[in-house]
Structure 1
Amino acid sequence: MTALPPSRRTVLGGLGAAFSASSLLARTSSGPTLLRAAAMREDVALLRRAYAELHPGIHRYNTPPEIDARFAALDQAAAIPMTLRAFYLTLSRFLATVRCGHSYANSYNQRREVAAALFEAPDRLPFDFLWIGDAMVVTADPFATGISPGSRILAVNGRSASAILAALMPRARADGHNDAKRRRLLSVQGDDRYETFDIFFSMLFGQDRYQLRWRTPPDGDVPRPLPVSRSRSAVPPRTPASMRAATRRSGRSSGAVTPRFCRCRAGVSTIASGIGAAGSIRRSTGWSPSGCRDWSSICARTRGLDCGNALAERLVNRETPFEEVQRLVRYRTVPEDLRPVLDTWDRSFDHLGENATRISDRFLRFDAQGDRVDPIRPRGTRYEGDVRVLIGPQNSSATFQFADFVRRNRLATLIGETTGGNRRGINGGCFYFVRLPATGLEADLPLIGRFPTTPQPDRGVKPDIAIPITRADIAKGTDGQLIRALA
């Protein structure tokens, strides 16, 4: 079966339905341009059919009556004309209730004119930050605002940071009830052209000036009274173009899963990965220097979404199933009348379940050899040393699967924070991009559901050694997880 390509962040062509602003917008005499109610409701009905007939995980975290009620609420909301921005927010909030990390109105798959209208407003906050609990902690100050790393943003234009997070969380995607993933997705680290936080913050709270209140971090470990609270009333927002330029100047990546570097020093091989990948630290105990060089060679060859597999091949001592799941789909062949709005890179997905075995009224299971995920087979010299893998909420797709594989087979020590994804199963592998012709928006639709063969908890993979990211580490510029992994 065709695998997911290296990137889905490209608007794909091949759709016959054209985006026609004149046919779906109505201009009021005294207000902004609005989408017609009939156009929105038409697209809601189309989305409902596509998700109901094709989405394998639509009822993983929702009962059929719950999903029906939410679609009904979406249809009711669409009965009143609203702007494209308001409908995007409404649609995103609905899709987040599916609780699937791959089901969302993907900013990278929207039409160019839609993306320009929705995501290019010059109102981004001018600093990078992480959410630690409900605290907005600055991690970098690329525009010299004077807010030092480790500072905690208390309020933006009088609205508390915790209130901002509470408003954005219902629109953030994640698998199941993994809210740590939602917080990490709503953090800004300069890794993406369109940051999830920037999109929703702009639509809900964007301004042309920002008054900030923040608390500076303590100096080192010296006990002191509560840190100083400061404010600045003239912090200008940043544009997407200026943020991308700052990212290039700082040398940060675009969020790719390809390892950023692989080095070997003092018998320790370190592989540092992008935000989407599982960073891993491999100590070469018992290996000669040439063994350490072997890790560097493997690292240089790993590319694409399953880059962890090349590493796993050097850790197993026998053929080992990569997954302990059933891979299920909902359909044999997509109905002809749906195909024009289902954009994809591979039309064989139209017949995805032709050779699958019917196992229930809802599901078909892949059985053919070509439809199964290959097991991990030993390759080369097996590494007998100590392996440590850094994990965290950013690991939610292929890297979640890699962390889960390592956990199940006890191949390494997991260090850091609980991953994204969900042990109850995730959806992905093959995708349609549902083009909603009446409004011009798009929603991603994963086609393969991975369902564990035994009951699993509704959470990600827990670390063996829990080392959370702390405000103190950020203030000092240290990586506590990496330090612990190398200790």
Structure 2
Amino acid sequence: MDFASPSRNRARVYNRRILVLKLGAADMQRSAVILLLGLLCSRAAAQEAIPSAKLLEDADVLRRIYERAHPGLYRYNTKAQMAGHLAALRAEFARDRSLGEAYVAVSQFLAKVRCGHSYANFYNQPRGVADALFSGRNRVPFLFRWIDGRMIVDRDFSGALKPGTEVLAIEGHPVAEILGKLMTIARADGGNDAKRVAYLEVRGKDRYEAFDIFLPLFYPGIGERIGLEVVPPGAKGPLTLAVAAHDRAQREALGKEAQQPAGADPWKFETLEGGAAYLRMPGWALYDSKWDWKGFLDRGMDALIDRRAPALIVDLRDNEGGLDVGNVLIERITAREVRGGIQRRYTRYRTLPGDLVPFLDTWDWSFKDWGDKAVPDRAGFYRLTRYDDDANGDVIAPRGRRFEGRLVVLVNAANSSATFQFARLIKDNQLGTLVGQPTGGNRRGINGGAFFFAKLPNSKIEFDVPLIATFPGERPLPDGVVLPFLDVPDAGVEPDVPVKPRAEDIAAGVDAELEAARALLKGRR
């Protein structure tokens, strides 16, 4: 069962037709004017006040949808706590707000659910909202990581910053203050703050990055020139400078650069020194792909077996998830059946209340009615048997020729959906060695699998609604009672070999996790 986020590769498919016109000089001028007017109109829309009464109506729609459809609403909050969070949202909407202010308020409310799949998804926003909020030239012109609360540049596009440079302040605002504010909108499961911090890095992997979106929403003064206070590698003290900001198109170009060319395989087996194989898998979001990824993996594993490769390093860093790709790998490396543990699936309804339908969209309307596959359980929950009725948990059986070499998996906090589940299976069943940082996700279970995309009637802000919750071991408690999980950590999966990121490694161009994996295979760790 796929517990993927629809953030990178929505299941909704849009057919876009591109009309290519041959324009004369006059037509091109008119087009440029129209484009500029459109940009100005979108910025005006972002600042235009939405009446309080309309926003309060939106808050009520959000409440009704989550109370009736979100199966993890009370996983980390009691009913009283969620009521308090809703009251805080309504207090924000007690006066007229701009679209940007409303988007921040909704995002802060959704973050309090503490569900990694509950957020105002950048990729699913209507065009008017996306153009109004995401189009400015106000993005920092560098990529960075958070290391112990420090913002460390790992790739620069301004020509002014070296990898390993520490940014102390942006437009006079200390980065600690910025991180603190942005943590209020960061999505993650339960108490996994490492995932929240990783979510607020700029890695150049996607068209939209949370830091890019929310920095100018929290700090509207940030514009086309951005003042920085920095400490370059080896410098004795801080420097101040100004850099030209990036816009959405420049950031999207980086995201495309990070992806494989159209038609190319997104993954690649390589051979490292000593014969070990290396498989980089930057994403598993292959919902609409026609690529035979299963065949690619089987051919690759057969090739490793034929040449008797001593080990396979699978690099899942920065891979949130997607399809259950990891199961196919496990089938080829395990000598026994692998059970995922008892991960019971629950939904909040059998038949979706009809009054919610006008606000929702999805790729599969069968999610409206689970029928006899949703069995009444304890108050407020239905046991979902549509995908798996096995009371002993999911079972992955050996398949084909077995790869008997050593398995090492590189992980970090981005692994929060299908990649989290894979890391958990590898760790719990001792199938390989995890190297890197603790994963995202949460051992107490996550929400996902099936989704509605909800649109608020007045602000038009979209938010994702996960429909299936997994719970480890025993069933969830009655509606509104937080399950204590006293014996289950409120955290992701811990690596077997922890590797702490360092600014010095970034400055030197050292891939610390990969080097640790190589050392492990050579017996030096």
In the superposition, the TM-score normalised over structure 2's length comes to: 0.79
What letter corresponds to residue 210 of structure 1 in structure 2?
I
How far did 1:294 drift?
12
Pairing of 1:125-274 with structure 2 (within 5 A): 125-144=140-159, 146-205=160-219, 206-218=222-234, 227-232=236-241, 234-248=242-256, 251-253=257-259, 260-265=267-272, 266-274=274-282
What letter corresponds to residue 290 of structure 1 in structure 2?
R
Of 70-79 and 440-449, the range deviating more from structure 2: 70-79
Q: How far apart, in 2, do the equivalents of 1:3 and 1:236 lie? A: 39
Q: How far apart, in 2, do the equivalents of 1:255 and 1:392 lie? A: 25
Residue number among 420, 430, 455 corresponding to 1:400 in the alignment: 420
What letter corresponds to residue 174 of structure 2 in structure 1?
S
SS in structure 2 opposite 1:445? strand
Give the match for residue 429 of structure 1: 449
Kept in 2, the 8 Å contact 1:134–1:162? The answer is yes
Kept in 1, the 8 Å contact 2:144–2:151? The answer is yes
Q: What do the CA deviations read for 1:239-271 (whole angstroms, capped 9, x no partner)?
A: 1112233454xx312899x85321124421101
Give the match for residue 325 of structure 2: 307
How far did 1:304 drift?
5.4
How far did 1:370 drift?
5.3
How far did 1:79 drift?
2.0
Q: Would the alpha carbon gap of residues 82 and 306 (structure 1) be closer, same or farther in structure 2, given more than 3 Å must change?
A: same
Q: Would the alpha carbon gap of residues 92 and 467 (structure 1) be closer, same or farther in structure 2, given more than 3 Å must change?
A: same
Matched residues, percent identical? 42
1:462 aligns with 2:482: no
Q: What do the CA deviations read for 1:175-210 (whole angstroms, capped 9, x no partner)?
A: 111111111110001111110000000211222321
Q: What is the root-mean-square deviation of aligned Cα atoms in Å?
A: 2.9
Q: How far apart, in 2, do the equivalents of 1:173 and 1:246 lie? A: 23
Q: How far apart, in 1, do the equivalents of 2:416 and 2:150 lie? A: 22
Unaligned runs of at least 5 residues, structure 1? 15-30, 219-225
Q: How far apart, in 2, do the equivalents of 1:439 and 1:368 lie? A: 35
What letter corresponds to residue 230 of structure 1 in structure 2?
L
What letter corresponds to residue 213 of structure 1 in structure 2?
E
Q: Would the alpha carbon gap of residues 461 and 255 (structure 1) be closer, same or farther in structure 2, given more than 3 Å must change?
A: farther
SS in structure 1 opposite 2:230? strand
Give the match for residue 25 of structure 1: none
Pairing of 1:235-384 with structure 2 (within 5 A): 235-248=243-256, 251-253=257-259, 260-265=267-272, 266-274=274-282, 289-292=306-309, 305-352=323-370, 354-367=372-385, 374-384=394-404
Q: Would the alpha carbon gap of residues 444 and 288 (structure 1) be closer, same or farther in structure 2, given more than 3 Å must change?
A: closer
Q: How far apart, in 1, do the equivalents of 2:158 and 2:204 lie? A: 12
Give the match for residue 509 of structure 2: 477
How far did 1:346 drift?
0.2
Kept in 2, the 8 Å contact 1:192–1:254? The answer is no
Kept in 2, the 8 Å contact 1:315–1:378? The answer is yes
Q: How far apart, in 2, do the equivalents of 1:378 and 1:94 lie? A: 44
Kept in 1, the 8 Å contact 2:452–2:467? The answer is yes
Q: How far apart, in 2, do the equivalents of 1:326 and 1:255 lie? A: 39
What letter corresponds to residue 207 of structure 1 in structure 2?
G
Q: What do the CA deviations read for 1:330-359 (whole angstroms, capped 9, x no partner)?
A: 100001111121110000000135422222
How far did 1:308 drift?
1.3
1:106 aligns with 2:106: no
How far did 1:102 drift?
0.2
SS in structure 2 opposite 1:85? helix
Q: Would the alpha carbon gap of residues 78 and 414 (structure 1) be closer, same or farther in structure 2, given more than 3 Å must change?
A: same
Q: How far apart, in 1, do the equivalents of 2:305 and 2:77 lie? A: 53
Q: How far apart, in 2, do the equivalents of 1:474 and 1:50 lie? A: 44
Kept in 2, the 8 Å contact 1:11–1:111? The answer is no
In the superposition, the TM-score normalised over structure 1's length comes to: 0.85
Q: What do the CA deviations read for 1:264-311 (whole angstroms, capped 9, x no partner)?
A: 24421101121679xx9xxx9xx7653449979xx9xxx952111111
Kept in 2, the 8 Å contact 1:56–1:447? The answer is yes
Q: How far apart, in 2, do the equivalents of 1:315 and 1:347 lie? A: 37
Kept in 1, the 8 Å contact 2:344–2:471? The answer is yes
